Structure 1
Amino acid sequence: MSNQVESGARRVKVAYLTNAYPSVSHTFIRRELVELERQLGEVARFSIRRTPYALVDPEDAKENDKTFHVLAQPPARWARALVRTGLRKPLATARGLLTAIRLGVNSQRGLARHAAYFGEALLLLDEMRERGIEHVHVHFGTNPAAVAQIVCSMGGPSYSFTVHGPDEFDAPLGLSLGSKIAASAFVVAISDYCAAQLRRWTAPEHWDKIRVVHCTVGPEFFEEARPIDPASRALVCVGRLSAQKGHLLLVEGFADAVRRGADAELVLVGDGELRADIERAAEQLGVRNRVRITGWCGGAQVRAELLAGRALVLPSFAEGLPMVIMEAFALGRPVLSTYVAGIPELVVPGKNGWLVPAGSRPAIADAILEIMRTPVADLERMAEHGRDLVRARHYTPTETAKLAQHIRDTRPKPP
């Protein structure tokens, strides 16, 4: 596989579609997209909506200017799509509407929401035809994949999509995951665990569409790696402050460890709906002066917080395979996480980190105490093991080259 833009043979015109792009929590999509563009040529950016979060990273701001946001388009653009694509091609439009109805009947979101997806698909189909798009790659198997399936059913470009979890695994029937896979050119799983879950919800004749392509970290993480400061007492957790990430239990386990003698600080990098609850819990547990919440950060600040820490802690209840684990290893920090989804494929207890049962407050406290008591030289050796794994499995050019080849393979074979 070449890592250079194709020459000679005609290139496939590719687009990316996501629910909200760019977004503070989706820098891995930007990284993959930019590398794919380097390998395949220009990639069009499409997003259903704008992110609700402030774009604190300058690179995200640049991406925002390049992105076609469906719900931000003026009424005149919707009207043009309705006339050019909806009314002039009634049979194709009927197929799209029928696809939306079939998806909506099985979905918890209902027919009304899928009628909206049908409208979004009409606009996207019109815009993609105007740009000559031949294949669309979607991130997440939720509503953007439904929209891509409706577009395809109306004679639009073929599509593929990446499944991350855990949202897709929480409602595979309601999301019509099997139908989306069957209608796709291929589907990407980010881990072997993810691929196994996809096989649960699609017929065996479609298993050959499932391809494992890992998410990746950029070279800046390896380049900025530095030794752990022996004086560091910081344990760093990166992620949206939401129920599935386990922050409240982390604060409880952290407080237990402090009461048992751990001289540590907990840094929560991110923001979200549980911030007030977390702050209240830290106050009630007597560790508010040891818990710091940064709010949303750009990529450079996230890396700075990880580098200032002793280890990454991520006690998630549900996951796919968190990007921040790869980032922490690349920067030279060991990881404490849970036996959830694809995490054990990367975090190996005793080798590069600690794994605890999800939901176990005592296990979190025990692991925190062990991290704080482990000599820095041993932490460095663990981090090196993790860095080697990330370099082998999650290197951006090589993993993106796999995706690029899968996309190339969607082109019709010459007679």
Structure 2
Amino acid sequence: MKIAYLVNQYPKVSHSFIRREIAAIEDSGLSVSRFSIRSCESELVDPEDKLELQKTQIVLGVGVLGLLFNLLRVAINSPILWLRGLFLALKIGKASNRGVFYHLIYLAEACILLNWLRKSDITHLHAHFGTNSTTVAMLCQAIGGPPYSFTVHGPEEFDQPISLSLTEKINRAAFVVTISDFSRGQLYRWCNHQQWKKIHVVRCGVDNYFLNSPTTAITSEPNLVCVGRLCEQKGQLLLLEAVKQLASEGLQCNLTLVGDGSLRPEIEALIAEYRLEQHIKITGWASGAEVQKYIMNSRAFILASFAEGLPVVIMEALALERPVVSTYIAGIPELVKPGVNGWLVPSGSVTALAEAIHQVLQFSPDKLEQMGKAGHDSVKQMHDVVQEASKLINLFRDGQKSLEVQHRQQLNQ
């Protein structure tokens, strides 16, 4: 059995959990080929991501001529299968916000992928995210490629289920993986109950780099950290308001925003407007080692998101024995337990966020360390990447056995 992974952008700064998952699968003895629709090489800062890029084939790296050539080659060599893929592309393209034209491009990408998968003798294709990558995987299967599965993270899949043809993707998949009980329930909404048995929870995981990393004691310094892409849905704008409120009350708070993104200019402007230059700094993208240092230099980790799946960085912070302040959304309450390993506040509430931060700043280091240790235990139990990858490997193997049975039945007919 040979597995291939397909992601829209891989490796990527925010996709270290996929890299860990692949590594755990390979450590089990399975072969994994990496494919990405497009490259984001210019953003990479982590040495491990740069090494992973060397193992990854980029579909759009073939250029426009390569897309057209492979599209025509499949059409000539396998006209019936190609037409089946074309009809599927037209069907889902008409329902999509992106339209038919983009789905014809996805079909061309599927033709390229089909050739690469055949050359590598791939028996199963797994995509991460139920968006463009799974569209290409589904089209690839339609034109003669291997069975596919995909991991749904949310929230985009649940925001646009019809436009993304989520039901069609579930129906055609060998199985579907999702990262939390919450997201499994959301998927149940968009498929017939007869499909529910193919939907499985495999949680994102952290490895020994976080689970067994030596931690440092929490100090009395009022340091807080937020790691994530600088964008509206991560809630950094609300976090700035909360820090402003605390500063006006005379509380010292040092917040480090680790990450970058489209909202950075606006965040920098608001920091200046609120006169928080002495309270807040932005680091830009950081390597895994740097992220770990920022987290361990803090009293607590904060993520004020109002649109998420279940952020891996929360797992990383808890694994490093730092309590977490986050919001009551999606899968986050499955991991962050108020009063045990962190705080949860209603998303969008600056007042509640400021109150939670106030408690973090007032709690003793001993109390915060107790909460951090409880968080580490929760992550080790629920989000060990080796444990979670083993569940995925079993699904791959069960799928392979089913194919072999079907093949034997066809031979005996």
The two structures have a TM-score, normalised by structure 1, of 0.95
CA distance in 2, matches of 1:140, 1:237: 24
CA–CA distance in 2 between the matches of 1:401 and 1:76?
40
> Counterparts of 1:70 and 1:368 in 2: how far apart (Å)?
45
Q: 1:286 aligns with which of 269, 275, 278?
A: 275
Does the alignment pair 1:19 with 2:8? Answer: yes
Q: What is residue 232 of structure 1 aligned with on the other side?
A: 221
Task: Return the alpha-carbon distance in structure 2 between the equivalents of residues 54 and 386 of structure 1.
Answer: 31
Asked if the contact 1:84/1:126 (under 8 Å) is kept, the reply is: no
Aligned to 2:47: 58
The aligned residue for residue 353 of structure 1 is 342
2:260 corresponds to = 271
Given that residues 224 and 301 in structure 2 are in contact (C-alpha distance below 8 angstroms), is that contact kept between their aligned partners in structure 1? yes
Q: Given the alignment of the two structures, is residue 31 of structure 1 paired with residue 20 of structure 2, yes or no?
A: yes
Partner of residue 182, structure 1: 171
Q: d(CA) in 2 for partners of 1:148 and 1:337? A: 34
Is the 1:228–1:333 contact (alpha carbons within 8 Å) kept by the matching residues of 2? no
> SS in structure 2 opposite 1:250?
helix
2:130–2:166 Cα contact (<8 Å) kept: yes
Structure 2, unaligned stretches of length 5 or more?
409-413
Q: Secondary structure at the match of 1:26?
A: helix
Q: Deviations over 1:10-67 (max 9, x none)?
A: xx11100000111111111001011111224221100000016421111111111111
1:242 to 228, 231, 235: 231
Q: Whole-Å Cα distance in 2 between the matches of residues 81 and 171 of structure 1?
A: 30
Name 1:299's counterpart in structure 2: 288
Identity %: 47
State how far apart, in whole Å, the 2-side matches of 1:162 and 1:361 are. Answer: 33
2-structure distance, mates of 1:350, 1:297: 30
CA–CA distance in 2 between the matches of 1:228 and 1:338?
26
- Decide whether the 8 Å contact of 2:2 with 2:123 is kept in 1: yes
SS in 2 for 1:136: strand
Partner of 1:402: 391
Q: Match of 2:28, SS?
A: helix
Q: What does 1:132-281 align with in structure 2 at a 5 Å threshold?
A: 132-281=121-270
Q: Is the 8 A contact 1:187 1:210 kept in 2?
A: yes
Choose the corresponding residue for 1:393, options 382, 385, 404. 382
Distance 2:207 2:381 in 1: 13
Counterpart check, 1:340 vs 2:329: yes
Distance 1:52 1:205 in 2: 41
Asked if the contact 1:225–1:307 (Cα under 8 Å) also holds between the matched residues in 2, the reply is: no
Deviation (angstroms), 1:82? 3.7
Q: Distance in 2 between matches of 1:181 and 1:47?
A: 21
Structure 1 residues not aligned, in runs of 5+: 1-11
CA distance in 1, matches of 2:195, 2:18: 25
Whole-angstrom distance in 1 between the partners of 2:346 and 2:66: 51
CA contact (8 A) 1:185 1:410 kept: yes
Match of 1:383 in 2: 372
Q: Corresponding residue for 1:69?
A: 58
For residue 225 of structure 1, report the CA deviation from its aligned partner: 3.8
What's the TM-score, normalizing by structure 2? 0.95
Residue identity matched to 1:250: L
Q: For the Cα contact (< 8 Å) 1:250–1:364, is it kept in 2?
A: yes
Question: Could you say which residue in structure 2 is the equivalent of 1:128?
Answer: 117
Distance 1:133 1:80, change over 3 A: farther
RMSD: 1.3
Find the aligned partners of 2:98 and 2:117 in 1 and give their Cα distance.
26
Q: Which amino acid aligns with 1:68?
A: Q
1:323-356 Cα shifts (integer Å, max 9, x gaps)? 0110000001000000010000000101110000
**d(CA) in 2 for partners of 1:187 and 1:261?**
50
Partner of 2:74: 85
Contact 1:225 1:330 in 2 (8 A): no
* d(CA) in 2 for partners of 1:78, 1:278: 40
Deviations 1:46-91 (A, max 9, x none): 0000016421111111111111100011566546534542311100
**Residues 77, 105 of structure 1: alpha-carbon distance in 2 compared, 3 angstrom cutoff:** closer
Kindly indicate whether the alpha-carbon contact (under 8 Å) linking 1:335 and 1:353 is maintained by their aligned counterparts in 2. yes
Q: Does 1:100 align with 2:89?
A: yes
Task: Output the CA distance in 2 between the equivalents of 1:101 and 1:79.
Answer: 17
Deviation of residue 160 (structure 1)?
A: 0.4
Assess if the C-alpha contact under 8 Å between 2:174 and 2:399 holds in 1: yes
Report the alpha carbon displacement of residue 413 of structure 1 after superposing the two structures with TM: 3.8
- Partners of 1:131 and 1:96 in 2: CA distance: 22
How far apart in 2 are the matches of 1:306 and 1:202?
40
SS of 2:310 mapped into structure 1: coil
Judge which range, 224-233 or 256-265, deviates more.
224-233
In 1: Cα distance, 2:336 partner to 2:277 partner: 29
Aligned to 2:309: 320
The separation in 2 between residues aligned to 1:128 and 1:279, in whole angstroms, is 45
2-structure distance, mates of 1:337, 1:165: 17
Question: In 1, are the aligned partners of 2:218 and 2:369 still within 8 Å (CA)?
Answer: no
Kept after mapping to 1: 8 A contact 2:220/2:364: no
Distance 2:276 2:302 in 1: 17
CA contact (8 A) 2:71 2:107 kept: no
Local SS of the residue matching 2:367 = helix
